[in-house]
Amino acid sequence: MINFFRKIRKKLADDNKPLKYMRYAIGEIVLVVIGILIALSINNWNEERIKTNREKEIIKIIYDELESNAHFINLKSNSIDLKISYAIDLLKLTGNNAKFIPSDSLAKYTRNIFTLGAYTPYMMNLNRIKNNVEFSLIQYDSLQSMLGDYEILLNRSNVLYETVISHKNHWELLEYHVLSFGHNKNVGEDHKFKGYDELANVRFNINTKDILSNPKFAGLLSYHLNQLSFLMNRFEEINQDIDEIRDFIEKHYDLN
């Protein structure tokens, strides 16, 4: 093709036709420019296609993690909600309403209220993507903002949860659990406080009415109930964020 144009250009020059030669030269330049622009357009289109496909892959990863977290948070919410119910029922038995109940019943209350287990929300993929340049591939600034707020909320819930299970009041109430249950051997290592083994090996003759009528016990129980309520509120906020982000993704992306 290049040789063909060269032959035409040479013939025009040999025939001493400068006007036609100039027209042809300009036309050839225009064709070259058009060819370059087409090549650049194809290259840009291909790059955009690659970016778009990678963006969809990132969104799919985030969406799947949201789904996992929604399930996890719902399980935790149900567990905390049950503990709140136990705490409210036990609180009704304190103070002026205190009466003797079997020690194993009190132990069951305290065990169900204060043993919270681990809290590990799914954040690894979101953290990795947010700390990577690929996060900028997400074309919607509003979605980036929602994901940032969601990450902050997860981190705050994690801090709050750790505060609840590590607070000094929590361990003091577990002491009541051991005292009320006598030589309880069934508490896991993660829930043993300092001096637990010494207490667990002693058979106590405890009047549960004395424990329930103790203002300190009622105060500690009320404090823990408030902390559980704060956790529930935080979980509800997380679920709202998850729903909003999922709705946005489903509206603006085809993940099939």
Indicate if the alpha-carbon torsion angle 165, 168, 171, 172 is positive or negative: negative
Q: Is the pLDDT of residue 199 over 60?
A: no
Of residues 22 and 39, the one with the higher pLDDT is 39
pLDDT in tens, 43-59: 777 777 888 889 999 99
Q: Is residue 238 part of a domain?
A: yes
Residue 12 lies in a domain: no
Q: How far is residue 253's CA from residue 237's CA, in Å, rounded to a whole number?
A: 24
Give residue 251's pLDDT. 94
- Does residue 134 lie within any of the structural domains? yes
Cα 65 versus chain centre, distance: 8
Q: Is 27 within a domain?
A: no
Q: Is residue 155 part of a domain?
A: yes
Domain count, the chain: 1
pTM score, two decimals?
A: 0.70
In a domain, 47, yes or no: no
The pLDDT, as a whole number, for residue 92 is 92
Residue 23 falls within a domain, yes or no?
A: no
147: closest CA among 242, 252, 71, 57?
242
Does 100 score more than 70 pLDDT?
A: yes
Alpha carbon distance, N-terminus to C-terminus of the chain:
45
Residue 50 lies in a domain: no
- Three-class secondary structure of residue 16 per DSSP: coil
pLDDT, tens digit, 9 for 90 and up, residues 59-72:
999 999 999 999 99
Residue 200 confidence (pLDDT): 46
- What is the length of the chain? 256
Banded model confidence at residue 165, pLDDT cuts 50, 70, 90:
confident
Q: Which domain holds residue 185?
A: 55-252
142 or 214: which leads in pLDDT: 142
